Amino acid sequence: MGTGLDKINKLLEHTEGLRRSFRNFNFSPDNIKRDERRYSLKEAQELVGRSYQAIRDAENDGRLSPPETGTNGRRIGFTLSQINNMRDIFGTRLHRGKKDDPVILAIQNFKGGVSKSTVACHLAEFLAKQGYSVLLIDCDSQASTTTTFGYIPDDDIDENETLLPFLREEAETLAPYIRKTYWDSLDIIPSNLMLYQAEYELASKPSASSFTLLREGIETIQDNYDVIILDPAPALGMISLNVIYAANALLIPMPPAMYDFSSTISFLTMLKNSMESLERHLGPIEYKFVKILISRYDESKSAQQALVDLANDQFEGSVLAAKLRDSAEIASAGNRQRTVYELNSPITSPKVHNRCLNILDSVNKEVELLIRRSWASHAKSLREAGLD
């Protein structure tokens, strides 16, 4: 028997050990997550935008450090930090121009489980891999993004290391909460369960500033970044309202399933109402782009295709051409607390892995293009490449 609380306590009794065993399982031998991805010379040429010979010449004359080698002396490959170093040396690193605004992109939908965090983590790593400076802010107390980056949120992260103290107005800037990740050029502000406190605290004393805190915080650090990605909770709470106000671009993942479709329409209605009320008090909210991303797509299901067609009709021009398909590789990588970009070798099969990478790249490249189109300093090179 026992009370409801007794029953919950019983469920929780063993979870402490369980969480640690995930970490032992995923990050042996020392429980620390690292970027183990190494890039071949061929990949380096593509990423850096310079020929094999130019890279070899720079290695030979000492401008570049050579890639890691294995015990047998064979080249294992370049780290992302070496790739970014090459870009700096060759002058091929893409950044926004000094007068361009950083893009502050919220991956938002009030519906749960639609791939928000999956998209946020893969996009952040993709953009950092292209050389941009990226900050990923985990705005969700469920902290899936924080977990992906190798933390057990409620063990490794103190509440004072999340957005919480800033939202409590205990700090002047977001700078102290930013930490480097193992992924070069990508920083994170982590989260944990305690961030939920901010929902109660901000709601209990609502004033105009309760909705503008995140934007004000981002303004204190945005000069250091090209792109800032916000991963909010699937709910219309105070933090989500802060996210809506802080963002200057919006990506809405939506699986092509009836319930997800209708909840996305409800989300858009709630978003409109919230934005109208925020604008009444705070002035206009400008978004550089608002796009729907079809997520969790399974082309073998004809009903899904019908919903994709419907979405393209209804949201004409606002649905990304690339769709994030449901992929066993994404699910398997997620179970190992990894993104697909972090894998050095396939978990499922080479075919599924490569197809998945192509899908992720095509989604992320489309978002990258939207970002670059918002930067006046990129207009000329986009025009020359026929991408404007």
Ligand X SMILES: Nc1ncnc2c1ncn2[C@@H]1O[C@H](COP(=O)(O)OP(=O)(O)OP(=O)(O)O)[C@@H](O)[C@H]1O
Q: Does the protein bind ligand X through residue 324 (CB under 6 A)?
A: yes
Contact range with ligand X by CB under 6 A, out of 107-115, 175-183, 203-211, 259-267: 107-115
Beta bridge partners of 107: 251
The alpha carbons of the chain give a radius of gyration, in whole angstroms, of 22
Q: Does the protein bind ligand X through residue 217 (CB under 6 A)?
A: no
What is the spatial distance between Cα 80 and Cα 44, in angstroms, rounded to a whole number?
9
Contact range with ligand X by CB under 6 A, out of 24-32, 240-248, 330-338, 340-348: 330-338
118 or 185, CB closer to ligand X?
Answer: 118
Choose, by CB under 6 A, the member of 198, 241, 271, 330 that binds ligand X: 330
State in angstroms the smallest separation of the CB of 86 from ligand X: 31
Pairing of strands 290-294, 134-139: unpaired
Per DSSP, helices labelled H in 183-257 are 197-204, 209-219, 238-246
Q: Does the protein bind ligand X through residue 260 (CB under 6 A)?
A: no
Choose, by CB under 6 A, the member of 79, 85, 130, 144 that binds ligand X: 144
Choose the contact partner of 334 out of ligand X, Mg ion, none; CB within 5 to 8 A by kind.
ligand X
- List CB contacts of 260: < 8 A, sequence separation 6 or more: 111, 114, 254
State in angstroms the smallest separation of the CB of 63 from Mg ion: 42
Choose the contact partner of 115 out of Mg ion, ligand X, none; CB within 5 to 8 A by kind.
ligand X
Beta bridge partners of 136: 188, 229
Task: Tell which positions 335-364 bind ligand X, by CB under 6 A.
Answer: none
Which residue's beta carbon is nearest to the bound ligand X? 334
Pairing of strands 186-189, 68-69: unpaired
| CA 97 from centroid of its chain's CA atoms | 22
Choose the contact partner of 330 out of ligand X, Mg ion, none; CB within 5 to 8 A by kind.
ligand X
- Is residue 229 within 8 A of residue 105, CB to CB? The reply is yes
Residue with tokens 């021009």: 317
- List CB contacts of 331: < 8 A, sequence separation 6 or more: none
147 or 332, CB closer to Mg ion?
Answer: 147
State in angstroms the smallest separation of the CB of 112 from ligand X: 3
- List CB contacts of 370: < 8 A, sequence separation 6 or more: 249, 288, 289, 291
Size of the site for ligand X (CB under 6 A): 19
Pairing of strands 68-69, 75-77: antiparallel
Q: Does the protein bind ligand X through residue 118 (CB under 6 A)?
A: yes
CA distances (Å), 117 to each of 2, 163, 214, 299, in order? 37, 17, 19, 22
Q: Does the protein bind ligand X through residue 264 (CB under 6 A)?
A: no
3-state secondary structure of 82: helix
Choose, by CB under 6 A, the member of 116, 129, 372, 378 that binds ligand X: 116
Contact range with ligand X by CB under 6 A, out of 29-37, 90-98, 115-123, 303-311: 115-123
Contact range with ligand X by CB under 6 A, out of 21-29, 64-72, 304-312, 324-332: 324-332
Binding residues (CB under 6 A) for ligand X: these are: 112-118, 140, 142, 144, 234, 295-296, 324, 326-327, 330-331, 334
